[in-house]
Structure 1
Amino acid sequence: MENVIVERVADFLKLYPPFQDLSSEDLYLLATKVRVHYIPKRNYVFKQGDPAHKEFYVVQQGAVGLRSKEMSSSNWIDICDEGDILGLRPLFADQTYAMEAMAKEECVLYAIPFEAFKELLLNNKMVMDFLLESFASNTRNPKASESKGKLLSSNYNSSEEANSELDFFQQAFYTKNPICLTPTKTVQEAAYIMNKHKISSLIIEENKLPIGIVTDKDIRRWVANGSMNSEDKLSTIMSSPVKCVPPHVHLADVQGLLLQHKIGHLCVTKDGSQDSEIVGILSEHDIVTAQANNPIALLKQIERVNQKEDLTRIRKSLSSLLKAYLNTGLPMPYVMKVSRLITQALMHRVIELSLEKIGVSPVKFSWLGIGSQGRGEQLLLTDQDHALVFEDVPDEKFESTQAYFLKLAEEISRIFNELGYEFCPADMMASNPEYCLSLSQWKQKFSNWIEEPSSESIMMCNIFFDYAKVYGEDELSKQLSEHIFRKLKGNQRFFAYLGEDAVKNPPPLGFFRQFIIEDDGRHKDEFDVKARAIQPLVEAARVLILSEGIEGKNNTIERFEKLIELEPQNEDIYAGCIKSFHVLSRFRAVEGFKQNSSGRYLELSTLSKSDKMKLKRSFKPIKDIQRLLKNRFQLTYFL
């Protein structure tokens, strides 16, 4: 290995633990032993059960995903990035690997022979202590306050993992050999069996395959409705189809399904599908028992809340939960999904309580979350952004109808504010008559924005195009969406304006790869991670998905995932945007919880060298996606 290459390796390694504790002489000596491996995307570094290699690895470029083969292909235990170590287990135990490592993108790895490294450990107690603590605590970097990373999969028997209150990768324990009945059995028979065995649910099966679930709630509902014929068949009251999971399912997956579908039970089958044999049943009680502090418990609390003070407590509990998730290093998709579902439930309950106070609405309406809430990306206590659409009324009733909804919106906004959500400085709230309108008025407003594009109208589109119904009638928001997409179809001039706005903020690196920071004002010398990094990805995803005419995709990640499906030739670009969005969102969320702020501005001097490099790496997809936008919408000619 030539000296210049050895020096380059040494310069890289000294940026990261534990190599930064080595002397210059030892580091240079180690660098002479390093071998460079190129790993193509989706190739394995090692597989679970493989014999131990004679070397461990440091990621120099790219990203390597770690997972257990019992997990689904999309669930990663951890993602190793620049400077991260993997494959260290054989240093302490000459065994097979406990998980598999796969290149999530093209990777360059530095392979360090164990024999060469062991020689250095004899004279470097700090390095040895670091590695022993790392192995004992099952983390790649035990000194880090956040994102420590895992060394072992969750099926490895570690007392530290078993004691972790927030280890959502542990396997969910289910009731085996559940009691099953056929759909021809009667409701009376089901009630008798449930009472006899003191259980709250039964699986309805045909030929050992699940076709439905009956719970004690279903039977109580049947009695309450006056359907007292004890000979009614279970097929008339069962919930169907059944949501199924495989035996080796993890708590994170179970919680996600229960939250998403608002159900209380899952059927466990041999392969996780409805077409395989029943082996067990999982209830939300099982999850609550396994994790006392969990999002399902918060949802249950929200349903029972009747006072604003209780909502405030739940909102604080959610913040604590999300902060703990981030510190534990849980994947951002899961953290954001939990936040989205609980925040929506919280907002829904606020509206219900406000309706009880103000009185029944005169006509049907929909409360719309806009901006980050509409995209389901609100992790922190940011400003309020919302709107209200009500069904059309005769002219003579409009004033009184709008007055009612403005009063309702003022009450809702007041409670939101008391929960910690600041009033929007630009007054983009449903309590503003400009954004509390009938369906026809909203259609006209969107038509004006689309048909007469300008810098101001594009700004409004960027805010109001990302809306989601929080409460009320689906049909009103559906009709509004259909109107918008009719106006957008084939409107290349509008997309050119929208595309131009999406590329106005280039990747935030200047000459010599220096961060572009704020040069004046209260945030002088700080980095605006929202405007300079997150927003370009959000806006790119929006203009691309709208140009494809795809409805119902408001979330930035879901938009990029749909674009991968539509344009597999651009998968690498869109996948890079997804990864960058998660990295940047984590930086912002961690900063926000640490400073009790919106997390928008990062003080770069407080970041480690590895965090700065990770931040810089997340900017490349911004450059790639903006180049794609310029080509697709011919922005070089338009600008």
Structure 2
Amino acid sequence: MNTIAEHIADFLKEYPPFDNLTFQELSDIATNIRVINLEKHAVLFQINDLLHDSFYVVASGVINLTTIADAEETIINKCHEGDIFGLRPFFAKNNYMMTAKAREESIIYAIPIAVFRPFVANNSDVLNFLLENFAINSRHAKDNVNSNGKLISDTAFYVDQQSEMQYIQSLAYNNSPLTTESNSIIKDVAILMTESMVDNIVICEKNNPIGIVTNADLSSKIATGRYPITETIDKIMSSPVVTVIENVSLAEAQLLMLKNNVTHLCVTKDGTSKSAVKGIISEHDLIVAQASNPGVLIKEIKRSQLPKDLKQIRDRLSDLIQNSIQKNIPISHISNIASEINLAIIKRAVELSILDLGSPPARFAWLSIGSQGRKEQLLLTDQDSILIFEDVAPEKYREVKDYFLRLAKRTTSILEKVGYEYCPNGHMGSNMLWCKSLTDWTKQYNSWMNTPGENSNDLSSIFFDYEIVFGEPKIEEVIENVIFKNAVNNTLFFDFLGNDALKRNSPLSFFKKFIVEEEGPHKTKFDIKTRALMPLIDAARLLILNANIKGIKNTYLRFKQLAITDSKNAEIYLSCAEAFLTLSKFRTVEGLKNDDSGQYINLREMSKTDKEKLKNALTPMKDLEELIKSKFQLTQFS
């Protein structure tokens, strides 16, 4: 047996999170591991099965994780050698949400959760790995295939991003818990709990928690006669208490309760039992918190009937973003979630308008353009949209366009009530210029791209960042094809876009000082949108159009893709991708702090390290500028 265990330990130590454990710890785990041989197509667990007492690692072969949506089986992920799956029993009490089936003959290691739990408890790296990966967005299964040692949580996540949210989400809990001292009499404490209508009390010594008593303790220890009601409370308390810091997330709280097999967590000032009690989290609080994860928010959006319902959900999204940033969740994660929820809100606004106006007279597509089109809208910024309807007979055109203008006006008005301000430049589907037929839009893009100088005043590059929110996907495809067809060898257009991308003012002076606003309401502040983010956004768009890469609208992902396509400049692109995330985070933090779009950063309120971080994020811009100048032979800028 020993040699088998050693062989298993050798295998595991190559993969995270096992590479964080000592060989001795791995050997202890390995002696408890069951080896399972699965024939091709054999099922390890399926949807709705009761949870197993183990989670699984693929030793060899491939396991498909599938879920059923609309009666169709969809492969969510393929797990290869070293991948972890079936983590659900770690995090949840309900049944499996997926099916795990062998795609070929496979060998699986079953690791008993009871054996592994202590290692999670004692090793924060392992805990973080499990938690972060529980938050992985596995919806895009193809991105994840073969990335060694990734961990695929089998939650119903690809459907509603639940687990990602649970990692981000904060909890509401009782901030004024009942406390008492260890020499209090059980009877008095029980009366106090009944009068206060709570099911728990924290026992403290000098305000620090030393134990907890819950209704369960009263029924199992007093009602059964094991202890007389005249004893002191310390005789029946559970001790020590499991303590957490104040802004613990839903998933972390869940994990701690499961790991320690408790129903309550004690919130203290510094997260240890050596500091003052600040609150108590119960299992009930976790259930309540589940109700505001994105999956639930999106369901609520779909049911909303009034702008005020949508506004309330949008406000909850702002809280979610704020909490996520405090917890240092990667900004790309947060953007994914925010854009899904923003998208659902805009879609619902269009649906409510159609419910009011009756069915549309022709097929159409509502596209978000600009930041929401790039999935970068974290704050409540203004709305940018266009409406494209299919070609209709000339005699019908007026009446059809009238309907869609009314639809767009109604939709933009709902969105304004939700908190998305009208676009000051009028880039909205409710503007006659931006609500027209597919042929008219095709002409519009042809003219912008083939004679860019002549009508450049109305060419806003945000029209090249778009995402369909509602309607006929083929319409979006047609527009995309028009754009990419026109882009091929179009020197004039790239010359125009290139100069446009370079015309923004430099963020730093010759002496590496921030260039700030000199007058107006934002005097002495740094315009992070115009001077730092826009040059990156414009450059990424220019380069991706030039490289003829379709379907990628997000700035961060555009740079990541460019690093693959144009590998000799990969270093510049990757540092621009990172810079974009850093700058977005600064802007979001500023916007949340001042309840605005975060465009102007108050440098005076910034710490020295943050200023350095901000300055470092601006350094790749010089290289990017040189790259664009040489690639597009732009000479008029020096």
SS in 2 for 1:583: helix
| 8 A contact 2:388–2:441 mirrored in 1 | yes
Larger deviation, residues 359-368 vs 246-255? 246-255
List aligned pairs for 1:386-425, cutoff 5 A.
386-425=385-424
SS in 2 for 1:362: coil
**Aligned position for 2:155:** 282
**Aligned position for 1:489:** 488
**Aligned position for 2:16:** 70
Q: Distance in 1 between matches of 2:560 and 2:620?
A: 15
1:257 equivalent in alignment to 2:130: no
**Aligned position for 1:380:** 379
Q: Distance in 1 between matches of 2:548 and 2:470?
A: 25
Q: For each residue in 1:595-630, what CA deviation from the matched residue of structure 2 results, as whole angstroms up to 9, or x when unmatched?
A: 001100011111111111111111111111001000
| 8 A contact 1:527–1:603 mirrored in 2 | yes
**Aligned position for 2:226:** none
**Aligned position for 2:109:** none
List aligned pairs for 1:231-270, cutoff 5 A.
237-244=71-78, 246-247=83-84, 250=130, 253-255=133-135, 257=137
1:432 equivalent in alignment to 2:431: yes
Cα 1:527/1:214, change in 2 over 3 Å: closer
1:312 equivalent in alignment to 2:311: yes
Q: For each residue in 1:502-555, what CA deviation from the matched residue of structure 2 results, as whole angstroms up to 9, or x when unmatched?
A: 111243111322111111222121110000010000011111111111111111
Q: For each residue in 1:259-313, what CA deviation from the matched residue of structure 2 results, as whole angstroms up to 9, or x when unmatched?
A: 668xxxx99x99769xxxxx99533598468473532332232233333222111
Q: Distance in 1 between matches of 2:352 and 2:542?
A: 37
SS in 2 for 1:507: coil
Cα 1:251/1:361, change in 2 over 3 Å: farther
The alpha carbon displacement at 1:255 in A equals: 4.9
SS in 2 for 1:374: coil
| 8 A contact 1:381–1:598 mirrored in 2 | yes
Letter in structure 1 aligned against 2:16? E
Q: Distance in 2 between matches of 1:372 and 1:247?
A: 36
Q: Distance in 2 between matches of 1:198 and 1:271?
A: 23
List aligned pairs for 1:174-213, cutoff 5 A.
213=66
List aligned pairs for 1:3-402, cutoff 5 A.
70=16, 213=66, 237-244=71-78, 246-247=83-84, 250=130, 253-255=133-135, 257=137, 281-284=154-157, 287=163, 290=251, 292=290, 293-402=292-401
SS in 2 for 1:257: coil
The alpha carbon displacement at 1:575 in A equals: 0.9
User: TM-score, normalization: structure 2?
Assistant: 0.61
Q: Distance in 2 between matches of 1:258 and 1:636?
A: 45
Q: For each residue in 1:440-462, what CA deviation from the matched residue of structure 2 results, as whole angstroms up to 9, or x when unmatched?
A: 00011111111211286276241
| 8 A contact 2:16–2:150 mirrored in 1 | no
Aligned-residue identity in percent:
36
Aligned Cα root-mean-square deviation (Å): 3.9
| 8 A contact 1:259–1:341 mirrored in 2 | no
**Aligned position for 1:229:** none
Give 4+ residue runs of structure 1 displaced > 3 Å after superposition. Answer: 96-99, 180-185, 193-199, 207-215, 248-261, 269-273, 279-291
Q: Distance in 1 between matches of 2:580 and 2:625?
A: 15
The alpha carbon displacement at 1:244 in A equals: 4.5
The alpha carbon displacement at 1:97 in A equals: 7.9
The alpha carbon displacement at 1:316 in A equals: 0.4
Q: For each residue in 1:463-489, what CA deviation from the matched residue of structure 2 results, as whole angstroms up to 9, or x when unmatched?
A: 211111111111001001101111121
Cα 1:305/1:391, change in 2 over 3 Å: same
Q: Distance in 2 between matches of 1:572 and 1:250?
A: 30
Q: Distance in 1 between matches of 2:629 and 2:492?
A: 14
Q: Distance in 1 between matches of 2:526 and 2:483?
A: 35
Q: Distance in 2 between matches of 1:335 and 1:351?
A: 25
Q: Distance in 1 between matches of 2:521 and 2:567?
A: 44
Cα 1:195/1:435, change in 2 over 3 Å: closer
**Aligned position for 2:234:** none
Letter in structure 1 aligned against 2:370? G
Letter in structure 2 aligned against 1:611? D
User: TM-score, normalization: structure 1?
Assistant: 0.61
Q: Distance in 1 between matches of 2:470 and 2:478?
A: 15
SS in 2 for 1:517: coil
Cα 1:195/1:418, change in 2 over 3 Å: closer
Cα 1:195/1:620, change in 2 over 3 Å: closer
Letter in structure 2 aligned against 1:608? S
Cα 1:281/1:376, change in 2 over 3 Å: closer
SS in 2 for 1:368: strand
**Aligned position for 1:166:** none
Cα 1:352/1:568, change in 2 over 3 Å: same
Q: For each residue in 1:196-245, what CA deviation from the matched residue of structure 2 results, as whole angstroms up to 9, or x when unmatched?
A: 9699xxxxxxx996557465x75xxxxxxxxxxxxxxxxxx541334346
Q: For each residue in 1:365-413, what CA deviation from the matched residue of structure 2 results, as whole angstroms up to 9, or x when unmatched?
A: 1101011111111110111110000100011000010111111111110
Q: Distance in 1 between matches of 2:74 and 2:84?
A: 21
Cα 1:418/1:256, change in 2 over 3 Å: farther
**Aligned position for 2:125:** none
Letter in structure 2 aligned against 1:241? I
1:527 equivalent in alignment to 2:364: no
| 8 A contact 1:518–1:525 mirrored in 2 | yes
Aligned length: 435
| 8 A contact 1:365–1:473 mirrored in 2 | yes
Letter in structure 2 aligned against 1:529? I
Q: Which runs of 5+ in 2 are unaligned?
A: 1-13, 23-33, 53-59, 86-128, 167-249, 252-288
**Aligned position for 2:449:** 450
Q: Distance in 2 between matches of 1:505 and 1:614?
A: 21
1:508 equivalent in alignment to 2:507: yes
Letter in structure 2 aligned against 1:500? N
Q: Distance in 2 between matches of 1:545 and 1:211?
A: 34
